[in-house]
Every structure is written in structure tokens, then in C-alpha cells.
């Protein structure tokens, strides 16, 4: 959620390139290419006596799908999602129920709970708060013990969850426009810049739980269900615990109410059902999501 340059805090929300194999989220190799001004590479003569610069490989080709950087590929999936109007109807019920369950008393209780979290937990959680403000994809990859090069399609799937989760969360943030906890209680003093958008639902929680669900979708499709010695339900619990920790750290930072996190968790489940076609009644999955999932399954087989 990078609404302005100072709001780089909201992580993932706009890039979450994770360390991205030092290649940049756009998929450009992170190498410095030196050149000789007296003998440019492009002027070298090939064995057929043509200059290298004249040897075009493909004059009117298409950009290879495999070369799409994970972040930009995720935007193509989002473009397909917004054409599927079920994303809105399928995410409205649970988030409205969560919102309607917030009372004046519960608001007071939440602020008191966040004050205790500041006092009792923030010092210990500060490192994670700072790290997760810039990146959460990397944490999921660490739990899965993978890299962008070892599992490029799993990496793409995480970026899909990141971008799609951001989009849907921002749609609902605009609808509810909830004030931030630190605006209600300035003494909460968040240790990072407060993002320039509203609080409900939590974007970090939405994205993190959606990453957990999309990754679990890979292991559900595997036969056997996971790599030897690991049960898919255990892996899913690992990922859900990571998502929960990410959401909780945003509360400890004074950036979100617990009900923001709860809404993000429920919203992630609803978005996942649309992406994967697992709504009730079932709908057609988002095509690029299905293709990426199939390719990701092949990386774990």
C-alpha cells in the first residue's frame, strides 16, 4: 500500500519483492555489464562476416512468458480477477459481518489491548515489525526453504497473493475508511510511518493469509501430498502461524486493531476461493492462477 513515497512501510503492499534473488521484482538480472568504448560488443564481426548488431534473433517475436517478472505477472492475474465480478460478491458477506460486530465497547477494549501490547511486546517484536514492513514474501520462502530460482512458479504464486490481496483489501479499506489506532490514541507511537490509508481490513493480514492459502493449494494438489516426511496439514499450519504472526505484529506496532486482522484473515479465505474456483457454488478459477498453480505443483513433485 504505497500511496506515497513516505509510506514504504506497508510492505509487500506494493512490491514485496522479497530479496528476489537480487534480481529485482521486474525480473531484470542484477548484473553490471561492462563495455569497451573502443570495441563495442555490438560491432564485433561474426563468422559469416556480419556485424553482431545486425544479427537480430527475432524481429517480430513476443515477449517470453517465462521472462515475466513475478511481480508483473501477478498484475496480469489481477487483470483477469477484476473481470470476474464474483470477487466482489464473494468477499462482501464476511467482511460486512466483521465490521458490524464492532461495538463501542469493543473499540475501547481494542485500544486498551493495543496499549498493553505496546508496553509488553513491542520491544521484543520490533525487529520483526521493521522487517515485515518491507517484506513478507521472503519470510514465506524461508519457511518453505525455497528461492526464486529453485521454485519460480511458487514465487509467482506468492506474488499473485500479494498483489491480489492488496487490491481487494484496498477496495474494502475505501468503503469502511476506519481510523488508525494511533490516530485514536497517539500515545501508541508506531515505530514506523503510519500508512496513508485507512485501517480496516489489515492489508498485511489479507496478503499473508492469502499467501498461506495459495501455497497450501500446491500441496493439496500434490500426489503424494508433500515432500517425503512432511504432511501437508503440518506445512499449512506453519504458514498459517506465520500469517498470524505478521498480522499480530501490525497490531503490536499500533498500526491495526485486532478486528482489522480478523477481517483480513476472513477476506483472504474469500479471495482464495475466487482465485481457485472453490466458491459455493463453484465458479471457474482464474485461468492464470490455475496455470501458475499447475506449474508450481510440478516444482514440488
Full set of structural domains in the chain with CATH: 70-300 (1.20.144.10)
pLDDT tens per residue across all 301 residues of the chain: 433 433 444 444 444 444 443 344 444 556 777 888 888 888 888 888 888 777 776 666 788 888 899 999 999 999 999 998 789 999 999 999 999 999 999 999 999 999 999 999 999 999 999 999 989 999 999 999 999 999 999 999 999 999 999 999 999 999 999 999 999 999 999 999 999 999 999 999 999 999 999 999 998 888 765 555 567 778 889 999 999 999 999 999 999 999 999 999 999 999 999 999 999 999 999 999 999 999 999 998 7
Which ranges of 177-286 does DSSP label H, i.e. alpha helix? 181-184, 203-221, 232-252, 258-276
Which among 141, 167, 161 is positioned nearest to 20, based on CA atoms? 141
Distance CA 224, CA 221 (A): 9
Asked if residues 300 and 222 have their Cβ atoms less than 8 Å apart, the reply is yes
- What secondary structure letter does DSSP report for 17? -
Distance CA 195, CA 255 (A): 8
Average pLDDT over the chain, rounded to an integer: 87
Asked if residues 41 and 32 have their Cβ atoms less than 8 Å apart, the reply is no
Radius of gyration over alpha carbons of the chain, in Å? 22
With both helix axes pointing from N to C terminus, report the angle between 104-120 and 122-134 in degrees, rounded to the nearest 10. Answer: 100
Distance CA 112, CA 108 (A): 6
- Classify 203 in phi/psi space as left (phi over 0), alpha (psi -120 to 50) or beta: alpha
Neighbours of 245 (CB within 10 A): 14
pLDDT tens by residue, 202-246: 999 999 999 999 999 998 888 765 555 567 778 889 999 999 999
Buried b or exposed e, range 268-297, using 16+ CB within 10 angstroms: bbbbbbbbbeebeeebebbebbeebbebbb
Amino acid at each position: 500500500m504505497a500511496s506515497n513515497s513516505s509510506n514504504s512501510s506497508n510492505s509487500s503492499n506494493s512490491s514485496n519483492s522479497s530479496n528476489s534473488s537480487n534480481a529485482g521484482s521486474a525480473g531484470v538480472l542484477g548484473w553490471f555489464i561492462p563495455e569497451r568504448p573502443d570495441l563495442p560488443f555490438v560491432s564485433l564481426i561474426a563468422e559469416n562476416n556480419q556485424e553482431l548488431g545486425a544479427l537480430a534473433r527475432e524481429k517480430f517475436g513476443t515477449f517470453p512468458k517465462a521472462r515475466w517478472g513475478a511481480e508483473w505477472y501477478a498484475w496480469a492475474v489481477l487483470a483477469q480477477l477484476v473481470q470476474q465480478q464474483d470477487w466482489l460478491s464473494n468477499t462482501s458477506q464476511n467482511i460486512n459481518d466483521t465490521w458490524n460486530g464492532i461495538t463501542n465497547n469493543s473499540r475501547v477494549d481494542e485500544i486498551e489491548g493495543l496499549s498493553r501490547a505496546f508496553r509488553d511486546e513491542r520491544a521484543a517484536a520490533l525487529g520483526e515489525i521493521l522487517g515485515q514492513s518491507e517484506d513478507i514474501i521472503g519470510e514465506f520462502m524461508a519457511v518453505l526453504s525455497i528461492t526464486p530460482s529453485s521454485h519460480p512458479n511458487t514465487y509467482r504464486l506468492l506474488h499473485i497473493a500479494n498483489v491480489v490481496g492488496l487490491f481487494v483489501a484496498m477496495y474494502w479499506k475505501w468503503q469502511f475508511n476506519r481510523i488508525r489506532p494511533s490516530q485514536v490514541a497517539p500515545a501508541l507511537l508506531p515505530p514506523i510511518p503510519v500508512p496513508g490509508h485507512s485501517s480496516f481490513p489489515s492489508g498485511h493480514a489479507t496478503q499473508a493469509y492469502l499467501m498461506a492459502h495459495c501455497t497450501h493449494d500446491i500441496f493439496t494438489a500434490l500426489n503424494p501430498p508433500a515432500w517425503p516426511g512432511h504432511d501437508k496439514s503440518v506445512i499449512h499450519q506453519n504458514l498459517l502461524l506465520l500469517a498470524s504472526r505478521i498480522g499480530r505484529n501490525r497490531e503490536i506496532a499500533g498500526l491495526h486493531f485486532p478486528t482489522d486482522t480478523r477481517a483480513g484473515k476472513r477476506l483472504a479465505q474469500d479471495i482464495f476461493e475466487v482465485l481457485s474456483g472453490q466458491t459455493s457454488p463453484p465458479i471457474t478459477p482464474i485461468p492464470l492462477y490455475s496455470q501458475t498453480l499447475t506449474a508450481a505443483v510440478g516444482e514440488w513433485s
